[in-house]
Amino acid sequence: MLAAILTDVNRIVFEDIPKPKPEPTQVVVDVKACGICATDHKAVRGKRKVEFPRILGHEPAGVVEEVGSAVKHFKPGDEVILSPRGYCGVCPKCRMNLFHYCETTFSTGGDGGNRFLPGGYEEYMVTEQNNVFLKPKGLSWKAAAETEPLAGSWKGVIEYSNMRVGESVIIIGTGGIGMLCMMVAHAAGAGRLIAIDTSDYALKNALRLGATHAINPTKTQDVREAVYDILPDGPDLIVEAAGPLAAVDMMFNLTRRGTRVNLFGITTPEKFSLEGGPTHFNEIRMDASFSVTPIAMQNAIRLQETGLVKTEEIITHVFRLEDLEEGMAVMDQNERNKVMIVQYDDPQLSKRAAGASKEEVAVGV
């Protein structure tokens, strides 16, 4: 089978490797679609340290190809969605509903676990049956591959930051994950919903998909003043989904007494500072959200099945597996939201930029 293997920074090698065989509790899946996450892009560009070689891709969906002898709930031909986060279900962390803290956890295509298994940037992948969820029949493959980031967004905005109906919410950064956080907030009944991004392209999409207001900080002299013109009482919740330290600083600068904040986008080991007194006396409540849980995955499937969140609407570029490098190059750009890898003929398949070779695209020239 074909696999896209990251062998070094900015070096993706396509190899013909053996198709995996399932162990008793495992499932082999024919991957149909897999999203590109910002963490995948950071690993390729060297902004996130990973061990080489590695097959990335932690947002897959596909068809069950083969099951292990102990698998009872899935069979070949089932259309499924995969969670990247493995868990045992019996350790103290799992029994406290902290499945993503499992003491024997593994990760398929992502990071944060004790073991790393190949992800979705290959034709077939293997995972444990605990990580497999049935795909609703009416859900497209591209939408199904958005379940994991939608689950993370639901977990961060609803479960951790406790967003409530009518609240004023700010999303800083409306790329893939930020747009999903915004759509979750919109579905949950945010009263005013402000999208902040340096890309007019992303902001236009944000307004189309639920934002009530949009602010481009590169075109606004004072972002705080612009926000408080819209929200005289200030925001109830701010989600930082951008990544750069400047976005974190902006988030804290926009708070008022009692604002809740969620560090969602900064995933690299960078440091920022807080003023102790104002943070204490203003009771700024800070949260963060890493990875997903089975409950978050199931809720994300339900959000899509009921049409409350239409994830396919944020997909702006689609590439084949063999064009993964080009998908990573699009991730370098501002004019995109979600980039998707598919392994079937899709009418949304992106065309290579005129005059650009694969080598040029691979390093973002």
pLDDT of residue 268: 72
- The answer to whether the CB of 30 falls within 8 A of the CB of 120 is no
Q: Are strands 11-16 and 2-8 parallel, antiparallel or unpaired?
A: antiparallel
C-alpha angle 128-129-130 in degrees, rounded to nearest 5 = 90
b/e string for 324-342 if b means 16 or more Cβ within 10 A?
Answer: bbbbbbbbeeeebbbbbbb
Query: What is the Cα–Cα distance from 66 to 225, expressed in whole angstroms?
Result: 57
Question: What pairs with residue 34 in β-bridges?
Answer: 60, 341
pLDDT of residue 351: 62
C-alpha angle 339-344-349 in degrees, rounded to nearest 5 = 40
Handedness of CA 57, 62, 66, 70 (dihedral sign): positive
Cα–Cα distances in angstroms (integers) from residue 35 to residues 92, 102, 149, 201, in the given order: 32, 25, 9, 20
pLDDT of residue 260: 97
pLDDT of residue 361: 35
pLDDT tens series, the chain, 365 aa: 999 999 999 999 999 999 999 999 999 999 999 999 999 999 999 998 889 999 999 999 999 999 999 999 999 999 999 999 999 999 999 999 999 999 988 999 987 767 899 999 999 999 999 999 999 999 999 999 999 999 999 999 999 999 999 999 999 999 899 999 999 999 999 999 999 999 999 999 999 999 999 999 999 999 999 999 999 999 999 999 998 889 999 999 999 999 999 999 887 777 888 888 888 888 999 999 889 999 999 999 999 999 999 999 999 999 999 999 999 999 999 889 999 999 999 988 976 433 334 443 333 32
pTM (2 d.p.)? 0.92
What tokens appear for 303 in the block? 């959000």
Query: What is the Cα–Cα distance from 317 to 103, expressed in whole angstroms?
Result: 37
> In sequence order, what are the residues at sequence separation of 6 or more whose Cβ sits closer than 8 angstroms to the Cβ of residue 269?
none
Residue range(s) in the chain whose domain bears CATH number 3.40.50.720: 153-288
pLDDT of residue 152: 96
- CATH code of the domain made up of 153-288: 3.40.50.720
Q: What sections of 87-170 are H helices per DSSP?
A: 141-144, 147-154
Q: Are strands 115-117 and 106-108 parallel, antiparallel or unpaired?
A: parallel
- CATH code of the domain made up of 2-145+310-362: 3.90.180.10
pLDDT of residue 54: 95
Measuring CA to CA, which residue among 173, 146, 133 is closest to residue 263?
Answer: 173
Query: What is the Cα–Cα distance from 258 to 279, expressed in whole angstroms?
Result: 10
Query: What is the Cα–Cα distance from 136 to 151, expressed in whole angstroms?
Result: 15
- The answer to whether the CB of 107 falls within 8 A of the CB of 84 is yes
Query: What is the Cα–Cα distance from 209 to 179, expressed in whole angstroms?
Result: 8
Query: What is the Cα–Cα distance from 14 to 324, expressed in whole angstroms?
Result: 10
User: Rg for the chain (alpha carbons), in Å?
Assistant: 20
Using omega within 30 degrees of 0 as the cis cutoff, is the peptide bond preceding 60 cis? no
